[in-house]
Amino acid sequence: PKQGGDPEAAAHRYVLPEDFFFGAAMSGPQTEGAWCVGGKLENLWDTWSNEDLGAFYNRVGSYAGNDFMARYREDLALMASLGLTTWRTSIQWSRLLTLDGSINPEGAAWYHELFRASHEAGLECFVNLYHFDMPTYLFRRGGWESREVVEAYAHYAELAFREFGDEVLHWFTFNEPTVEPEMRYQEGVWYPKLRDFGRARGVQYHISLAHSLAVRTFRRLQQAGEIRSDAKIGLINAFNPTYTKDDPSEADLEAVRMVGGINNRWWLDLVTAGKLPADVVKTLEDRGVCLPTRPGDEEILAEGVVDWLGCNYYQPRRVQAPQAATDERGHLRLSDDYHWPQARINKSRGWEIYPEGLYDFGLYIRDNYPGLTWFVSENGMGVMHEESNRDAEGVIADSYRIEFVRDHLVCLARAIEEGSPCLGYHYWGLIDNWSWANAYKNRYGFVEVDLGASYERRPKRSAAWLAEVAQTHRIV
């Protein structure tokens, strides 16, 4: 997309449409806790915590989440009191199914109870099926590198649709399906810490098949009346508008094409046209990365077209041509990071703050994927809790969080006004939660979780601001 947006103009847009929804996003593995209770199996986060607790910030493993299973009624009431109308969580595969792939009654009972409580609180619950939480026994059978696991996911999705089909209105197949391949298989950050670009693309391809199989099943069950007729299915990805230098070389532009192609277009083409971007697949092949395709796959991918899209937006990507065509292990390199001199960085998280990227993404969707409606499914600011200022009453005074969200909403309002069909906004981490290897290092919440006081919740100063915006739709 074109870089920027017009900050001058942005300052004059203050109102979001009347039917625009505000909500909050979270995930099962980051909040529920009760990691081995009620028949829940281990997922990779539990296994990694058990094997190497030192890998997690302050040695806080996956076990407790933010105690949501004990506090869900309180949390739902809190969301409703702030004026939110929707929220998202994920079902944990490892809680819903048993080892033999049948429904775990205790797990199912918890999710029924949760969805009922959400309904009673006046909140629409968006349900995602997979949030980086591969059950460990399936990882041992090859994880996303195995066709057997793709089939197991399709089976899991089918059982979830059948179990909750008359309760859930908004379904999502995956959260950020490029991030898991990158973090686990390419960048060596998450267990099992592999660094292999080609394997990561194979995983990405298998997730694409798994997504498409789930959508196919969803449509069939809906036609058969087993899923409510007004239910919708979507995909959530972290979309990173991809930029390069102001005076790019051909090779810089090529880096943008491939990085944006793998992260953004791959999923956008799949969910709108039921195919992967041919130019991206061809370049991968030319560079020696062959996807694990089989006859019949094209027909499966063709079923992957969704009803709408969730966009997680935290920061843009800035790339330039790679210095070398391969890394030290001989794996393909498509780009190097480009350090934009004007970049504003959230020093806690190391991520660039660039609200204009949301405006650019909105117009990109409008212009390149007409008819595709979308919503901001995550956006948020993680700050080291040690940095938080407290006022005289001991409440965290987080003006930076207000500024961050306000700036993003203003850019979003501009994109909507210029015709981008964005229907709502979910803030990530309304209530502080556990965040993968970073555990509780970066706090996103408008509501503090006190780890020293049994996970007690305390609204931060910013919460009142969020409530006002959510209830008036005016970006104050």
Token pair listed for 325: 């065509």
* DSSP code for 58: G
For position 27 contacting ligand BG6 by CB under 6 A, the verdict is: yes
For position 435 contacting ligand BG6 by CB under 6 A, the verdict is: yes
For position 181 contacting ligand BG6 by CB under 6 A, the verdict is: no
Kindly report each contact of residues 244-253 with a partner whose C-beta sits within 8 Å and lies 24 or more positions away, as own/partner. 244/318, 244/319, 244/320, 244/338, 245/320, 245/338, 248/320, 249/321, 251/321, 252/319, 252/320, 252/321, 252/338
DSSP string of 127-170? EES-SS--BHHHHTTTGGG-HHHHHHHHHHHHHHHHHHTTT-SE
CB of 460 to ligand BG6, least distance (A): 17
CB of 7 to ligand BG6, least distance (A): 25
What stretch of H or E contains 266? helix 266-273
Looking at beta carbons only, is 175 or 272 nearer to ligand BG6? Answer: 175
Q: SS3 for 101?
A: coil
Q: Binding marks (x or -) toward ligand BG6, 112..131, rule CB under 6 A? A: --------------------
For position 94 contacting ligand BG6 by CB under 6 A, the verdict is: no
Beta bridge partners of 406: none
**E strand map for 56-123:** 86-90
For position 45 contacting ligand BG6 by CB under 6 A, the verdict is: no
Number of residues that bind ligand BG6 (CB under 6 A): 15
CB of 310 to ligand BG6, least distance (A): 10
For position 462 contacting ligand BG6 by CB under 6 A, the verdict is: no
Token pair 């999705």 is found at: 157
Separation between Cα atoms, residue 466 and residue 464, nearest integer Å: 5
* 176 a catalytic residue: yes
* 187 a catalytic residue: no
| From 42, 352, 378, 448, the catalytic residue | 378
For position 352 contacting ligand BG6 by CB under 6 A, the verdict is: no
**E strand map for 186-270:** 232-238, 242-243
Residue from 428, 440, 446, 455 in contact with ligand BG6 (CB under 6 A): 428
Separation between Cα atoms, residue 311 and residue 470, nearest integer Å: 19
Q: Using CB under 6 A, which residues numbered 68 to 87 contact ligand BG6?
A: none
The interface region with ligand BG6, picked from 105-113, 161-169, 297-305, 435-443 by CB under 6 A, is: 435-443
Q: Binding marks (x or -) toward ligand BG6, 211..250, rule CB under 6 A? A: ---------------------------x------------
Token pair 């079902």 is found at: 91
CB of 384 to ligand BG6, least distance (A): 11
What stretch of H or E contains 310? strand 308-312
245 close to 320: Cβ distance less than 8 angstroms: yes
For position 312 contacting ligand BG6 by CB under 6 A, the verdict is: yes
DSSP string of 338-381? ---TT--EETTTTEE--THHHHHHHHHHHHHSTT--EEEEE---
For position 346 contacting ligand BG6 by CB under 6 A, the verdict is: no
Give Cα 70 distance to the centre of its chain. Answer: 24
Token pair listed for 53: 């607790």
Looking at beta carbons only, is 94 or 312 nearer to ligand BG6? Answer: 312
For position 388 contacting ligand BG6 by CB under 6 A, the verdict is: no
For position 22 contacting ligand BG6 by CB under 6 A, the verdict is: no
Q: Binding marks (x or -) toward ligand BG6, 357..386, rule CB under 6 A? A: ---------------------x---x----
**Angle formed at CA 197 by CA 195 and CA 198, multiple of 5 degrees:** 120
| From 176, 180, 303, 356, the catalytic residue | 176
> What residues make contact with ligand BG6 under the rule CB under 6 A?
27, 30, 175-176, 179, 238, 312, 349, 378, 382, 428, 435-436, 438, 442
